[in-house]
A and B are shown apart, each in its own frame.
Chain A
């Protein structure tokens, strides 16, 4: 992981959208893709290769130009949510600078959310990454669904947000909360610059 390269004066943030299947991770990326000026964004890559080992993820590079003398790039990834794609998830998670955990706010999806969150912790631990040190924000997606189907952000916090990380209610399809989440994770990630984080 090289977040800041002082020699080449580059800041590269790898941000991974994690979460259970169909929680809206790709919707997040699509929405961002649509809002980033053409000159700033790279091609959005969605990979689907069906062989023994399945590679299936989205990749969206964003070039933020020169900031304070640093060429700043964001690389947004999503992981496949389905349980059996764990190898891919671990691959994508490698070298991540920050994670946006996209949770499905529907009440009946709560177990999937928890399972996915535990999976995230397990995968990070496997890679020797201290879970508490990894910048993480939670996004409670699908808040636009009828009230009787979804949990409120407060309820979601109670259920998932054990470590009181920043959390954002969202409607990724229509864009509510998408940039807020991205901004939230960016701030956490970039804050590590100030702490003299890995160079």
Chain B
């Protein structure tokens, strides 16, 4: 039911002249900024002067600028018909919804609203709904709103509220340009002077002009010979007068004196205002319409000669484009800062850049995961198999499977490592903004935001995160404001299926000082508990940390029980330090010495010999050796004496 946009009717094929320049400029602006520049845009002109063409060109241009934009073109009659059909089918509401969801509505022939009261109120409702939603409306009519008979006052004011532009009859030069373009489209060429002769006739509209051109093309095709100027005049019935006289100068016996005057003045102004000034004026009109300051261009108009006008305009456009990019970026980071007037003033581009840098730094995405903890280096073993499987599922489909994910485990059990690892994996996705930080840092940020009076900004910064990972969530205890913020952030992110991951030393419902609403939300996801690392895990971690060392050392260290990886690594560090201090290689023996007892004083080491018995550190024998080494010095000496 909706007419498709005719691909032939684009801006490229639209001939712009003095009579329609304003309308075309406004149309272009609207197509590039639907809903924001002039809304509604009301175009009126006599029949056959290009309203439909312009409407469709706007539709095309808008589509090209934003392919996802839904653009509807229809004539008022079609709209009325569709409405009646919908009402007859009892689908009135569906009809309204359909049109209210259109991004850009192009309505042709609005003048037919005359005497259609119910349609007027329908259109009024639609206009209000579309305007309210920031959707663009473009209307075309053969007369201005106020002159459409019997039109509702409210509609008149709505229609006039945006921009009302008219298009006049094209002047001679434009007529020639139109004829040339059309002849080119038809791949027809004429002898010089023929088209000018046709253009010399003051047709009431472009359609008649096209009719004349068609007659010439047909004539030329039939006669199989190029038509001459005189023949053209004959074909078009303008031969009788003009014979001998210049054909273009005296087109009609009783010309409309005002029209002649108007086109004369237009030509004079055109000459006077010179093409470059017109270009500058157009640029000003356009960018001003978009809300940019055009001081630089206005300064151009004050100069006497064109100079480097084009460079200035293109430079200006470049600056404006840059401003647009900056503003869009800042808008995402800090909506408040985007309202800054520097983003509307190309003369202050430098300042805008600075603001953007500031915002970027300030809103540099919330702290991300540390690259030091890749998932690959997390040692897997029987003790954490299931937990890791769950985490992999979260990484595979963040936000969908287990949300939130809570990692519970004793201190040093690798929660932080895993949290960062998950963060890294999630950050690897395209367009991911992963917030991964300790709860303490989170609290500090809230405080700083409150202090700096930019809580909104802070919120916006976190709300655009595609995943939020908080380490040690139990630290929120007693921090009411942060809990409040987290609660809200939690809801926003979860609603958008963004992944949330937390770590805590004990299951959420046992965490003290946390509001129940947070506890319950944490418990509502998947709680994964990490137990003490098993031997496989310990050995894997050691191997990675030590590299190439003797197997006995690895086994010895792996065999030692450890409540957590961190505790084990602390032991390892002690051994390493000792080895460094004594400039000895890392061996199982040294480790044992370091870990299981004070190294014997140097004076006693000269004659010291180990028993040669290698026992598991987990075994009961350990205590015997330990006992021996822990003998008090006198007894020690006695034993030595005995030997």
Contacts and interface: CB of A to CB of B under 8 A. Distances in A.
A196 B301 CA distance: 10
Given A36-B258, A69-B273, A193-B273, A64 B22 contact: no
A184 to B, nearest CB: 10
A7 B272 CA distance: 17
Contacts of A39: 144
Contacts of A70: 269, 273, 281
Contacts of A6: 281, 298, 301-302
A9 B265 contact: no
Contacts of B298: 6-7
Interface stretch (A75-83, A88-96, A162-170, A175-183): A175-183
B315 interface: no
B272 A65 contact: no
Given A6-B298, A194-B271, A67 B258 contact: no
A7 B302 CA distance: 10
Given A179-B260, A183-B264, A69 B272 contact: no
B493 interface: no
Contact of B272 (A35, A175, A191): A191
Nearest to B265: A186
Contacts of B304: 196
Which of A36, A40, A65, A69 is the most central at the interface, judged by chain B CB atoms within 10 Å of its CB? A69
Nearest to A40: B258
B166 interface: yes
Given A178-B257, A179-B260, 17 more contacts: A6-B301, A6-B302, A7-B298, A32-B258, A35-B256, A67-B266, A67-B269, A69-B278, A70-B273, A179-B258, A182-B261, A183-B265, A186-B261, A190-B272, A194-B274, A199-B301, A199-B302
B265 A190 contact: yes
5 contacts: A68-B278, A70-B281, A175-B257, A190-B268, A199-B302
A72 B269 contact: yes
B262 interface: yes
Given A183-B265, A186-B268, A193-B272, A69 B257 contact: no
A155 to B, nearest CB: 27
B18 interface: yes
A68 B268 contact: no
A32 B258 CA distance: 8
B226 interface: no
A179 to B, nearest CB: 5
Contacts of A9: 281, 284-285
B265 A68 contact: no
* Those 9 A-B pairs whose CB atoms lie nearest each other, nearest first: A69-B281, A193-B272, A6-B301, A68-B278, A66-B22, A68-B273, A194-B272, A196-B304, A67-B269
A190 B269 contact: yes
Contacts of B258: 32, 35-37, 40, 179
A32 B616 CA distance: 118
Interface string B471-494: 000000000000000000000000
A64 B165 CA distance: 13
Contacts of A138: none
A37 to B, nearest CB: 7
Interface residues of B, number: 35
B265 A67 contact: yes
Interface string B263-298: 011101111111001100110110000000000001
Chain A CB within 10 Å, residue with most, of B144, B257, B282, B302: B257
B21 interface: yes
B168 interface: yes
Contacts of A65: 19, 166, 168, 262
Given A40-B258, A194-B272, A69 B265 contact: no
B417 to A, nearest CB: 65
Contacts of A72: 265, 269
A196 B306 CA distance: 12
Given A9-B285, A11-B269, A193-B272, A68 B261 contact: no
A87 B184 CA distance: 62
Nearest to B286: A69
A187 interface: yes
A109 B168 CA distance: 43
Nearest to A184: B264
Nearest to B144: A39
A37 B268 CA distance: 21
B409 to A, nearest CB: 70
Nearest to A36: B258
A175 B257 CA distance: 10
Contact of B257 (A11, A35, A199): A35
Contacts of B19: 65
B18 to A, nearest CB: 6
Nearest to A72: B269
User: Which has the most chain B C-beta neighbours within 10 Å: A32, A64, A175, A178?
Assistant: A64
B265 A64 contact: yes
Contacts of A193: 269, 272-273
B499 to A, nearest CB: 54
A179 B277 contact: no
Contacts of B18: 66-68
Contacts of A37: 258
Interface in B28-47: none
A160 B258 CA distance: 29
A186 B266 CA distance: 10
A175 B285 CA distance: 38
Contacts of A187: 264, 268
B285 A191 contact: no
A183 B269 CA distance: 12
Contact of A69 (B21, B166, B271): B21
Interface in B1-49: 18-19, 21-22, 25
B261 A69 contact: no
A84 B40 CA distance: 54
A61 to B, nearest CB: 14
Which one of B260, B265, B271, B274 has the highest number of Cβ atoms from chain A below 10 Å of its Cβ? B265
A134 to B, nearest CB: 17
Interface in A90-143: none
A141 to B, nearest CB: 17
Contacts of A182: 261
Contacts of A194: 271-272, 274
Contacts of B285: 9, 69
B302 A68 contact: no
A68 B277 contact: yes
Interface in A38-82: 39-40, 64-70, 72
Contacts of B22: 66, 69
Contacts of A175: 257
B269 A68 contact: yes
A101 B166 CA distance: 34
Nearest to A186: B265
A179 B260 CA distance: 9
Contacts of A179: 257-258, 260-261
